[in-house]
Chains A and B, each alone.
Chain A
């Protein structure tokens, strides 16, 4: 009875079975800016991992004889007011900034996803409560809310991380909620129900994987924002505390010497700018790759 079946062209049987994800990855690799962004991000990640091997000095090796030295072959980025090597501090500072970026976004994604899925899938009063909670959080300007949280918890890098995570929760929560709302109406969800699948299993095998792409994109962009927010909190003295080589904190310490020793400020500033640029380029590339409307 299979005789009348149109068989696929046998040649096409050799065509590789590519998942939609692999397809997107190919698009991503074709974008120059996205690749540049990825290279920058990977560069900073390697810098963070191998920091102690690269940095010629520790973060707090003071030498007052050599304070505020301009960049030279010995001190590539110069020295600060305590005679500490700025290059070493910038390199080791990448660990703090990336850690804050990744950890805070990870926390917001996890919390936001759980809340968003609950709101989107179960609807009704669950949705009302969670959505209003998001609305309340979003009613505050994000940096103001972060400052309020850190002030309440006490200034430290960990608390700054937590504050940034909390501030970002509603963004991810709303994103996931709207995605779940649209996916839940798809026919393959009804099909899964018809098969006899449990709700929880449908959530994890069908709804969640199909909601992930906007989260990956938004997450990459959010890391950039989180790094800036961490630097801002550090600058205000609410984030990392001395002698931690946090870039924002370094900027804030150096502002007095801006005229006489601009290198104390330029290099941490450049580091912030480059990381944020890298994550933004990568995020934009991911968005273009995953958004079906952008495909030709």
Chain B
């Protein structure tokens, strides 16, 4: 297999908790705790998890919008985490981002022409005429018209704004796009449009996506591989099909079981998760999921499970699979 486009090893982001007038550090929030993965050219990696599990922080740390505490990120073999400010600025031409809130991510005082031109200006690409043409071209690509360029963000709907956000991310012909919950602020009907647009663009422009979301259905629709995060850790990473057909980690199983079924008579076979996600400033010992896990064993609270590949293309961090995948495992069947 060829060199991966992006390789992340041991990524950590701890936010300090400060207290008192001198801002003494009294603790840490482990937002991202030792996450590693790879992405190949042209594929889509979905990252899912509850709110506060560190998925957005992971996305932002990759671009160093949030400075990671530890770990390394290699983009096309170059170490992003060791780049100087100026090198990083130039590298951002190849890694772009689509944001969650299409209302907040566009400057309300700039018209669309100015918003879309900005990446080109920043990187000194093209002259005024070429920039204008490129803006018109991309507006067409994302399904808007060139006359929209003179308008202001408040004159567009949420879905249209998100298209503008996507167009902005495409202006510099990037190789990798990190989409941070790009559809969660949109109506369901608009979600499908934007997702299909992103899929079409991927085929056409050979893009690679990291797709962050909390909606499993959305992720399934667009991803080749999916990583599930819980409390800053990646607990399961598998091909999309494998993950949805045969989830291994108890947390993934619970997540999938919680997906609403459009049938009022439907009775759930598995219990939904109880309790809240524990505080990431004081995570449980051992496996962080043991406080809510229905299959908890004695050593779960003592030993931290590692993410290991239990079958080709399917990794999971759970003590249940310490000895590899056992097909008689009673609990693989309980999944609903």
A residues neighboring B (CB under 8 Å): 1-2, 4-8, 13, 15, 17-21, 186-188, 190-198, 201, 205-206, 209-210
Contact = CB atoms under 8 A, between A and B. Distances in A.
B200 A187 contact: no
B151 to A, nearest CB: 4
A207 B263 CA distance: 50
Contacts of B144: 5
B97 A191 contact: yes
Given A1-B200, A198-B89, A19 B119 contact: no
Given A7-B145, A188-B106, 19 more contacts: A1-B143, A1-B200, A1-B204, A2-B140, A6-B193, A15-B155, A19-B109, A187-B100, A190-B60, A191-B106, A191-B165, A193-B65, A194-B63, A194-B65, A196-B123, A197-B89, A197-B118, A206-B107, A210-B109
Contact of A190 (B65, B145, B200): B65
A193 B112 CA distance: 18
A42 to B, nearest CB: 27
B246 interface: no
B168 interface: yes
> Which residue of A13, A21, A196 has the most chain B CB atoms within 10 A of its CB atom?
A196
B159 interface: yes
B152 A210 contact: no
B118 A192 contact: yes
Contacts of A17: 111, 150-152, 155
Contacts of B193: 4-6
Nearest to B93: A196
A21 B109 contact: yes
A194 B200 contact: no
A190 to B, nearest CB: 6
Interface string B305-317: 0000000000000
A196 B119 contact: yes
28 contacts: A1-B200, A2-B143, A4-B143, A8-B145, A17-B152, A19-B111, A20-B152, A187-B99, A190-B105, A191-B97, A191-B99, A192-B118, A193-B65, A194-B65, A195-B92, A195-B96, A195-B118, A195-B119, A195-B172, A196-B89, A196-B91, A196-B92, A196-B93, A197-B118, A205-B118, A210-B107, A210-B108, A210-B109
A179 B107 CA distance: 15
A13 B140 contact: no
Interface string B72-107: 000000000000000001111100110111001111
Contacts of B100: 187
Interface of B: 60, 63, 65, 89-93, 96-97, 99-101, 104-109, 111, 118-119, 122-123, 140-141, 143-145, 147-148, 150-152, 154-155, 159-160, 165, 168, 172, 193, 196-197, 200, 204
Given A1-B197, A19-B111, A195 B122 contact: yes
Nearest to B150: A17
Given A5-B143, A19-B111, A194 B97 contact: yes
B101 A187 contact: yes
A116 to B, nearest CB: 19
Contacts of A8: 145, 148, 160
Contacts of B96: 194-195
Nearest to A13: B147
Contacts of A5: 143-144, 193
Given A1-B197, A195-B122, A196-B122, A18 B92 contact: no
A188 B102 CA distance: 9
Nearest to A12: B155
Given A6-B159, A194-B92, A187 B105 contact: yes
Contacts of A1: 143, 197, 200, 204
A206 B122 CA distance: 13
A4 B107 CA distance: 27
A186 B102 CA distance: 11
A19 B148 CA distance: 13
A96 B106 CA distance: 44
A255 B168 CA distance: 67
Contacts of A15: 155
Contacts of B150: 17
Contacts of B106: 188, 191
Contacts of B145: 7-8, 13
B59 to A, nearest CB: 10
Contact of B104 (A4, A186, A193, A209): A186
Contact of B152 (A2, A18, A201): A18
B103 to A, nearest CB: 9
A158 B75 CA distance: 60
Contacts of B147: 13
Nearest to A194: B97
A188 B104 contact: yes
A196 B165 CA distance: 15
A190 B101 CA distance: 12
